[in-house]
Amino acid sequence: ALLDLSGVHQVKGTWMGSTTLPCTYTPSEGFTQHTLTWSMERDYRTSTLFRRDDSGDHVLLSQFRDRVSVPKHSPGNASLLIENLEIPDSGHYTCQVIWRSKNNSLITKEVTTTVKVVKVAATKPVIRAGELGLTVPAGARTSLTCVASGSPPISYRWFRGTPGGKALLLSSQAELAWDSLRPSDSGSYYCEAANR
């Protein structure tokens, strides 16, 4: 198919995260991209949020300023990246590309994607051990890293002890590191992950 746009029907985005709305085509000889616009429909109102033409890139809706972009130097890729997703970003987004042919006629194609922005609770974290694993010689450097997913920002806390028992707060970073392990560092550690 000559100059067909391809995209996806639906994209789920995580609140405060980022998402890409695909819109791609295979560049074809004799056709140049004349304009590219991304518009958004929400509550039965449609407004153009991004336009690329001879004069450059323009973000036309203030709530998207500094949060949306389209790849600059990859012909055929008109995908829209939206960062720091907000709940009101949910809606129907249409990518419209107009090409000019050698005989100066214009061809227009469009593809629409529905975006749903959701709040996602932090998952139960996973602990990743350093290269040496969990049985480590005294004097060695090592670390434990706490990893969770969900709507950013995610905060982490490391404790020594067991959940529900007596516990000592050691760190408010995702990584718990030791420069030189001592035998007294042996024991139980756990991490907590939380988001809003």
Q: Are residues 87 and 134 in the same domain?
A: no
- Looking at the predicted structure, is the pLDDT value of residue 73 above 60? yes
pLDDT score for 196: 84
Q: Are residues 108 and 158 in the same domain?
A: no
Q: Give percent above pLDDT 90 in the chain.
A: 84
Q: Are residues 182 and 144 in the same domain?
A: yes
Q: Are residues 57 and 150 in the same domain?
A: no
Q: Report which of 99, 97, 117 is spatially closest to residue 6, judged by C-alpha positions.
A: 97
Q: Are residues 32 and 81 in the same domain?
A: yes
pLDDT digits (tens, 9 = 90+) for 7-58: 999 999 989 899 999 999 999 988 999 999 999 998 889 999 999 999 999 9
- Would you call 18 helix, strand, or coil by DSSP? coil
Q: Quickly state the pLDDT bin for 89 (edges 50, 70, 90).
A: very high
Q: Do 97 and 25 contact (CB within 8 A), yes or no?
A: yes
Q: Are residues 138 and 184 in the same domain?
A: yes
Q: What's the rounded Cα separation, in Å, for the pair 96 and 112?
A: 9
- Looking at the predicted structure, is the pLDDT value of residue 70 above 60? yes
Q: Which domain holds residue 187?
A: 126-195
Q: Are residues 157 and 61 in the same domain?
A: no
Q: Are residues 39 and 109 in the same domain?
A: yes
pLDDT digits (tens, 9 = 90+) for 123-134: 999 999 999 999
pTM (predicted TM-score): 0.71
- Looking at the predicted structure, is the pLDDT value of residue 147 above 60? yes
Q: Do 7 and 22 contact (CB within 8 A), yes or no?
A: yes
Dihedral angle sign, alpha carbons of residues 55, 60, 66, 71:
negative
pLDDT score for 82: 97
| Domains: count for the chain | 2
pLDDT score for 137: 94
Q: Are residues 137 and 100 in the same domain?
A: no
pLDDT digits (tens, 9 = 90+) for 166-189: 899 999 999 999 999 999 999 999
Q: Are residues 151 and 73 in the same domain?
A: no
pLDDT score for 111: 97
Angle at 49 between CA 43 and CA 50, to 5 degrees: 155
> What is the CATH number for 151?
2.60.40.10
Q: Are residues 85 and 42 in the same domain?
A: yes
Q: Are residues 90 and 130 in the same domain?
A: no
For 10, the token pair is 């639906």
Across the beta sheet with 91-101, what order do the strands follow? Answer: 10-14, 106-118, 91-101, 31-42, 45-53, 56-59
pLDDT score for 165: 85
